[in-house]
Each structure stands twice: as structure tokens, then as C-alpha cells.
Copies of this chain bind each other. A is one copy, B any other.
Amino acid sequence: MSETVAVIGGSMTKFGQREAWIRELLADAGEACLDDAGVPSDAVEHLYVSNMASGEFEGQTGVMNALAHDLGLLPAYSQRVDQTSASGGAGIYAAWQSVASGASEMTLLVGGEKMTHRSTAESTDIIASITHPAEYKHGVTLPSFAGLTARLYLDRFDAPRESLARVAVKNHENGTRNRKAQFQKEITVEEALESPIIADPLRLYDFCPVTDGSAALLFCPLEVAEEYADDYAVVSGVGGATDTHVVHEREDPTTMGGVVDSSEEAYEMAGIGPDDVDVAELHDMFTILEFLQMEALGFAEKGHAWEHAMDGRTKLDGDRPINPSGGLKSKGHPLGASGVAQAYEIYEQLVGEAGDRQVPAETGLACNVGGFGNCVTTAIFEANR
């Protein structure tokens, strides 16, 4: 039997356009996380850094070694975890494994990315390197896939275009309650529907922004958690899966196979089903992905997630709030940070520290997606308070 793993602290920096470089962003989140948990730096045995592309964005690699040094964790083991835009979720899996295997009794996970100093064209080039070169060369970038898939979804399931706008409106509304979010701005359905077309039928407000930022979580065995904290969360389930690298080889582009597979693993480990999940952070890099993930996770019937958005069931006061943090849409999407920040929001909700965004929750789920569903991790957390 492996160790039961707890999360006893968390943090995130302000997301947005930041002057700091990657080493500072990572150090800020890491330090704040140790402070939050009241754990001294010399207690940390393993450090994982979720980061996709500091080499490409800044010409700086070895950021995990630098961070171990900067935080005074030496001689702690340090390693970088990359799973493209799902690097944060993969970091959660890595941190869980490090504690569950007994290799570490105190594991710090810090995810971050510094992106906004590069032009949109440069960032797009770096991000597009995730995909198959044949797709990229022919101009099928991630936004293009999102447009194609949104068109198919709306047509096949007779969903109104407005339902996608409602995802953006909700996530922007939630973001105004999160001072760390990139955007602090409500938008209307009309504004979303009239914003400039990016990849038809998707418009500007269907896309997450380019963002700098970092987030951190601290993991340890359950019995160690009890020494440091009264309120904490337990990682009750975690799973990961890969889908085809070439998107056109998928049988049904509206089904996110990696989400199905990774969540089945996580549900089984946690011994629960989708109905037991009170709150979730999903990877809404594009609004359409919130629907596809809700369906793949079993939160809605196939082809019906859009109805939840229209009915307001995913809002803060709905049956099951989705993306209370503001999601990638409003909070921002610093690649390697996003999966960690999702789990940080769930942690805050479970320990009752989510402030104006607080929802009643005992069980929360975070789903982090890389590429266009090429790789996915799903993690389930339970409150222990």
C-alpha cells in the first residue's frame, strides 16, 4: 500500500503581464507556499518544477536546480516536469508519486511560465511545437482545432452559439472575485458574441490570454500533514492519459479521450463517481473545452453540457460550480503554472479559504489538458478539516 498523500499549503503569484523573469516567478510562489504551510525550507526533500519552455521563452534551462538553490532547499532533489500545457497536472502526479512511493516526506511543486515578453507570433510558434509538424506546417494550430471542434459541437448537438459566450461571461465574472486573476473585468454575452473572430465560430472572448505567473503546492504523507495543519486536503485520486498526437486520427473530435481515461483512473482510486464532485477547475483554454471536459468527466450527458451553461448550473451558486477561480479564460494561462493553479483553487475551496468565491465543497477535481487533449491529468482532492 502506498502512502496517503496530503496537500498542506499552496500559493500563486499575480497572473498577468509581469516584469519578473521565470526564476523570480518560481521563487515567489515557492516561498509563499512554504510560508503558507509553515514548513521550513530545509524540510523539503523533493522539488518538482512544472514548466514547458523556459529554454524557448527565455534561453534559461535548469530552472529546477536554480529554484532549489534560490529557496535554500539544497541538497533536495530537483526535477523539471514537462507535459506541454498540462505540465502542472503532470507535476501533481509526479509530486504524488514522490510521496506515495516513500521517496520524499515533503515535496514542493512549483509551476510557472514567463511568456508575455515574446510577441504573439513567437509565443504561437513555441506553443505550436507541441503538435505534429504536419498539422503545424499546414496552419492547423491549437486555435484552429478549437474553431473546427466548436463548429462541429454546435452543429451536431444543436447548441446555441450563446452557450459558449456564457462560459466566457461566467469565468470573467468569477475572475473579478480573484485578485490574482489576469482580468478583473466582467463582460456581457453581447460583448462576447460581437468580439473579433479568431477561428470561426470562436471569437476573442473564447480564448484564454497569454500570461506570466506561477503557483505552488506542498505535499506530504497524511501523518506528517497532521503535524503542520488542522485544515488540509487529501489527494484521493489521480490519473493521467495520452491521446493521439495527430488530432485527425481521433474517432470523434468532440470526445476528449484523455479526459475520459485519466478521470476513470482518478475516480477509481478515489472510490467516487462524477456526481460526488462538488466543484471543478477545468482547462478552458478555449470555451468549447469546458463543455467537452464536462462531458468527458461525466458531469453532463454527451451533447448536453451547453445546457448547464445556459441554465447557470456551472456558476458559483449553481449545482456544481466550474472554474470558480476564473479559469484559464480570465485568470490567465501561464502554461506550466495552470495545472498547479487549478489544484490550488480546489485546495483553497476545500480548506475554506476561497473568500468571495467560496462554494460549499468537500470534494473537488482539477483537469489539466496538454496540446488539444494530447495529454491529460485529472486529480481529485478531498477536504480534511
A283 CB, nearest partner CB in chain B, Å: 15
Whether B55 pairs with A129 at a CB distance below 8 angstroms is yes
Number of copies: 2
Contact for A74 among B46, B69, B100, B243, CB less than 8 A: B243
Alpha-carbon gap, A172 to B97, bound state (A):
39
A47-84: contact bitstring with B at CB < 8 Å (1 yes, 0 no)? Answer: 10000110110011110111011100111111111111
Whether A242 pairs with B77 at a CB distance below 8 angstroms is yes
- Which of chain B's residues have a CB closer than 8 A to the CB of A261? 75
Residue A101 at the B interface, CB < 8 A? Answer: yes
Alpha-carbon gap, A243 to B74, bound state (A):
6
Q: Which of A212-269 contact B (CB under 8 A)?
A: 238-246, 257-258, 261-262
Q: Nearest B residue to A89 by beta-carbon distance?
A: B79
A45 CB, nearest partner CB in chain B, Å: 10
- Which of chain B's residues have a CB closer than 8 A to the CB of A174? none
Alpha-carbon gap, A262 to B68, bound state (A):
15
Q: Nearest B residue to A69 by beta-carbon distance?
A: B245
Assess A242 versus B374: contact at CB under 8 Å? Given A101-B101, A129-B59, A129-B60: no
Q: Which of A334-372 contact B (CB under 8 A)?
A: 370-371
Contact for A61 among B84, B102, B257, CB less than 8 A: B84
Alpha-carbon gap, A46 to B90, bound state (A):
12
- Which of chain B's residues have a CB closer than 8 A to the CB of A240? 46, 77-79
Assess A103 versus B97: contact at CB under 8 Å? Given A60-B129, A66-B132, A69-B245: yes
Alpha-carbon gap, A77 to B129, bound state (A):
20
- Which of chain B's residues have a CB closer than 8 A to the CB of A246? 69
Contact for A79 among B2, B66, B93, B258, CB less than 8 A: B93
Q: Which of A175-192 contact B (CB under 8 A)?
A: none
**For the complex of A and B, 3 pairs with smallest distance between CB atoms:** A77-B240, A100-B101, A101-B101
Q: List 24 A-B contacts (CB under 8 A).
A: A2-B101, A46-B240, A52-B61, A56-B61, A60-B133, A61-B129, A64-B83, A65-B245, A65-B374, A69-B246, A70-B245, A74-B242, A75-B242, A77-B239, A78-B240, A78-B375, A79-B90, A79-B93, A79-B94, A94-B94, A96-B103, A97-B97, A100-B101, A103-B238
Add 11 more A-B contacts to A52-B61, A78-B375, A96-B101 (CB < 8 A).
A53-B61, A56-B61, A60-B129, A61-B82, A65-B242, A65-B374, A66-B245, A75-B258, A76-B241, A76-B242, A77-B377
